[in-house]
Every structure is written in C-alpha cells, then in structure tokens.
A and B are shown apart, each in its own frame.
Chain A
Amino acid sequence: MKDLYNVSASPHTFDYESTTSIMRDVIIALIPASVFGIYNFGLKALLMILTCIVACILTEYLYQKGMKLPLTTGDLSAVVTGLLLGLNMPVGAPLWMGAVGSIFAILVVKMLFGGIGQNFMNPALGGRVFLVISFGKIMADFTVPNLGISSPAITDYIAHGALAVDGITGATPLTSLKAGGSVDILNMFLGNTGGTIGETSAFALLIGGVYLLIRKVINWRIPVAYLLSFLAFMAIFGGKGFDVNFLGAHLFGGGLMIGAWFMATDYTTSPISSTGRLLYGLMLGIMTGVFRVFGNTAEGVSFAIIFCNLFVPLIDKYVRPRSFGKGVEAYE
C-alpha cells in the first residue's frame, strides 16, 4: 500500500545511461574505423591516434588540476575527442601536430568555454580546423610513405607501415573528382583510398553508425537529413545531374561519413528537438555541398559542421517542441 501511494517529485523515470556509458558506446562504434585505419595506414596511424588521445586527456587533467576544478577526465569524453581528432589526421603528419591539435581542441574549444557540455563547437573539429588553417600543406598531404611492398610480411608492416594499400596516391578521391577525374566507388566504400586515418572506409564507419543507432546513442534524424539533403544538393548543383557514380563518390568520399555519424551528432553542439535536428541536418547538407562545389578545396565537411554548430543555439531557440497539452484545440 505504501509503495502504491508513494508520492515523489519528478523525474519519475530513471535511465542508467550516463556520460561515461554514452562515450564508451561512441568509442566502441569508432573501433571498426580505427582498426581499418591502422590496418590501412600502418603503425604510424596507431601512434597518431594514441598521441591525440593521450594529449587530450593530459590537457584536460592538467587544466582542471591547475584551475582547481573537479576532474572530469574519467567520463571518457576527452578520449572520444582525441580518437576523433586522430582519425581526422592524415597519416603523414608529424605526431606533434596531433598533440598540438588535441591541446587546442581541449584547452581552447572545450575547457575555456566551460568544459563538457558548454563548448559551442565540436572540439575535435575545432582542433582539426586549427591544424588545417595553420599547416594547410601538411594536413592536405595524403601521401602514404613507403608504399609498394610486393610481399608484405608482418615485419614489413611494422617497419614500413601500410601494406593493404596498393593504389594510394597523394590525391584523395574527392580531389581527383574535383579535377575532373573518375574514381572507383567500391574502393571508396571499402576504404582503399587516400584520406585521413579514419575517414576512408565508409563501410567501417557505417557499422559504427548503425551500432550507435541501435544503442540509441544517436538519433537517425541528423545523419539521415544531412546525407539526403547533401545528395539532393549535389544532384542539383553538382553539375553532373543524377549521376550515380558521381553522387556515390561524394557520399562515400572525404569526411562526410565520419562527420555525419560521429561529429554532427555530438550532443552539445546539435539541436535537442526533432524538428531542430532535421533542420540542422538540412543545413549541414547544403553547407557541405556549397563548400564542395563552390569552395576552393575539395573537402568541406569540417567547415560545414563548425559553421552549423554556430546556428544550434538559434535553432534551439526558435524550434521548440510543443509542451504537452498546450496549443491544442479542445475536443468539442
């Protein structure tokens, strides 16, 4: 009887999800892409990813120690930032560059704005764009060193890195596409192409994205609205009409997959309402298309996501879900 009439204040439902469990799910979802990146680009890729993760955790720890703030390094969010940044680095970049990007991502983009939940743009993307603007040449150089090993053995793998890739040249598929060349979509889907460590394999990224959807860590609205509006934009303004090869190459090329599933869905920097998420995805698709078609560079996902991050507070302000019971006509 007592249990039945227990009166308590809301919230009445409780979920065991926490920041740590969400971040753990994101890390698990990124494992296929990371493993493929390391397999594809060699041990240097592993070192780069580890450098970024360690630098992110250290920066957050030292900042919070120094500023006498409660430590939040245990919630794994810094690990996710480091992992995402590592996956967004070209394998040829020196390791210190990954560390610098990590420090910028955590210190400037995340901690100076108040730590987890307060950052106005995705920290990993902030770090990446900082590096792209600072060291444009190195960050756009996707040449993999020591290619063309004829009989790969595990010792070669350790010594030279990269044995899976045969056809990698300096240019990414999007770069050659922009220059008017043609690309092999199947290779792009599987990931046997040039690019940053984690972005090449659309297949591995999709596995992670589906895992996040099943675990209900992310909502389908942002990635689906993003990808569909991007495809629509490319079909209209891409200059090739409804060309499956062209559209597929743009869909699987560059950072679109990792951006749509892992970066754009970042909780802090995406809208909270369903309509807002659709609107945000639509904006992302259009901006990415604008950057890719009309921009100077072949890639525009990072800039598009950061640009749309700035609109999230505005979207949240004007697109609000109707409160329960409000604004409905009463039944006659």
Chain B
Amino acid sequence: MSDNVKQKNKYMKPLINGLIHENPTFVLMLGMCPTLAVTTSASNALGMGLSTALVLIASNIMISLLRKVIPDTVRMPAYIVIVASFVTVVQFLLEAFVPSLHESLGIYIPLIVVNCIILGRAEAFASRNSVGESLMDGIGMGIGFTVGLLAIGIVRELIGKGTIFDFTIMPDAYEPFNIFVLAPGAFFVLSGLTALQNKLKLKSATNVSYNNSDGSCSGDCASCGASVSEAKKED
C-alpha cells in the first residue's frame, strides 16, 4: 500500500512541479520569447502552448529512452536533433490541419527548437529520470507553459481587443487599448500577473525561503537582496 502511494507520488510530483512549483512562465521565467511574442490573442497563446507541450512531451520521452545511449560529450547536438524532428512534425501537422494558426504563429513554431524549456527539461530532467517520470514532467511543464501563455493571452486579448477567443466580451462602448496586443502590452501583462502572484504569495519558487539547502537560486529575489545588503553591512 505504501509502496503504491510512493509510486503514485513519484509520478504526481513532476506533474505538480511543472504546473505550480516550477511553472515555466511565472516561476522559472523560461521561454520568454514566445511568451511575449505570440500571446497577442488567447487562441494564439493556446496554439503555441499546446504545440510546445506536444514537442516537450515527445522529446522528454525520446531523450529519456535514449539517455543511456547518448554520449555525454555530444548530448546537446543529439537533443537538438530529437527536438527539431518533433518540431518539424508539429509544424507540418499545424500547416495541414490549422493553417490559419500556422500562419499567425509564423516563425515561432520553428523556434520551438531552441525553446529554453524543452532543452532545459531535457538536460535537467529527462536525461536523468525514467521514461514514466519524464512523461509526467513533460505533461506538467507543457500544461504549465500553456496555462501561463493562455493567462497572458486572455488578458491581452481582453484589454487590447475586447474579446476572448474572438468572442466579444466587452460592451460596445469599450474602446480597446491597442497597445496591449503590441509588444509593450506583453511586458505590462506579464509583469502585472507576476506581481499579482507575488502579492498573493502563491506557493511557488519565488515565495519560498531563500535558505536553500543546496545553495541554488530560489528565485526569491526580494529576500535574497535583503540578505546581500545585510552581508554588506557586516563587512
């Protein structure tokens, strides 16, 4: 019984981790290029998020399967080849079945190849863990990324166009703030949502204590900065 629970935890942990504790968009702040560039509307954000998630899951599985075969010295080129293959597949699928989405995402689909999240998870997780865990990690991170993009995309589309998924939400009198579908709006919304997350002290890496046992960056810059200035005072 306890073995069963442990087994379950082993798979649930990476899933929850990707969704909340290490949410790629709001906690790790990885993959900012597509996050800022293609969240102009909710549907673009969803399309980008799901495409990335698909590539992430597939490449996590593949890299985890091959983790004992790939020599350490050439692992990066090997990862890139694997990721690029899946991106090509996804790109052709999008072009065939949702050409309008393919059109609006444009260059950002091929750019998934160099997305930090995918290479980061390959390096940090899939190359060291079993296939099952890597699958769950891919799902968690992929959905976490999609949720992050969707949150930004919905806010930007709502303020910038008055619609969500092209359905008019705002009353006719509402004058859309065009700036929110342009580049500056991406920064406004991302910073606003991150500030909100910090304010609410949501359980995330940005709000844990800075005394990490392994000495790595916890992401809690405020308290970390305080500790630095304290250290300076002592000098």
Residues in A lying within 8 Å of B, measured CB to CB: 94, 97, 108, 130, 133-136, 138
Contacts and interface: CB of A to CB of B under 8 A. Distances in A.
B171 interface: no
Contact of B184 (A94, A133, A135): A133
Contacts of A135: 175, 177-178
A97 B179 CA distance: 14
18 contacts: A94-B175, A97-B175, A108-B188, A130-B179, A133-B178, A133-B179, A133-B182, A133-B184, A134-B176, A134-B177, A134-B178, A134-B179, A134-B180, A135-B175, A135-B177, A135-B178, A136-B178, A138-B175
Interface residues of B, number: 9
Contacts of A94: 175
Interface of B: 175-180, 182, 184, 188
Contacts of B182: 133
Nearest to B195: A112
A123 to B, nearest CB: 16
Given A133-B184, A135-B178, 10 more contacts: A133-B178, A133-B179, A133-B182, A134-B176, A134-B177, A134-B178, A134-B179, A134-B180, A135-B177, A138-B175
B170 to A, nearest CB: 14
Nearest to A137: B178
A94 B175 CA distance: 11
Contacts of B188: 108
A134 to B, nearest CB: 4
Nearest to B181: A134
- The 8 A-B pairs at the shortest CB distance, nearest first, are namely A134-B179, A134-B177, A133-B179, A134-B178, A130-B179, A135-B175, A133-B178, A133-B182
A7 B175 CA distance: 64
Contacts of A97: 175
Nearest to B188: A108
A325 B19 CA distance: 63
A248 B130 CA distance: 75
A108 B188 CA distance: 10
Contacts of B177: 134-135
B188 to A, nearest CB: 8
A94 B174 CA distance: 12
B54 to A, nearest CB: 35
A108 B180 CA distance: 14
B113 to A, nearest CB: 32
Contacts of A133: 178-179, 182, 184
Nearest to B191: A112
B177 to A, nearest CB: 4
B9 to A, nearest CB: 42
Nearest to A133: B179
Contacts of B180: 134
A133 B177 CA distance: 8
A136 B181 CA distance: 13
A101 to B, nearest CB: 11
Contacts of B176: 134
A97 B177 CA distance: 10
Nearest to A108: B188
B223 to A, nearest CB: 19
Contacts of A130: 179
A9 B28 CA distance: 51
A196 B175 CA distance: 20
A135 B174 CA distance: 12
A107 to B, nearest CB: 11
A136 B188 CA distance: 19
A309 to B, nearest CB: 16
A133 B182 CA distance: 9
A133 B180 CA distance: 9
Contacts of B175: 94, 97, 135, 138
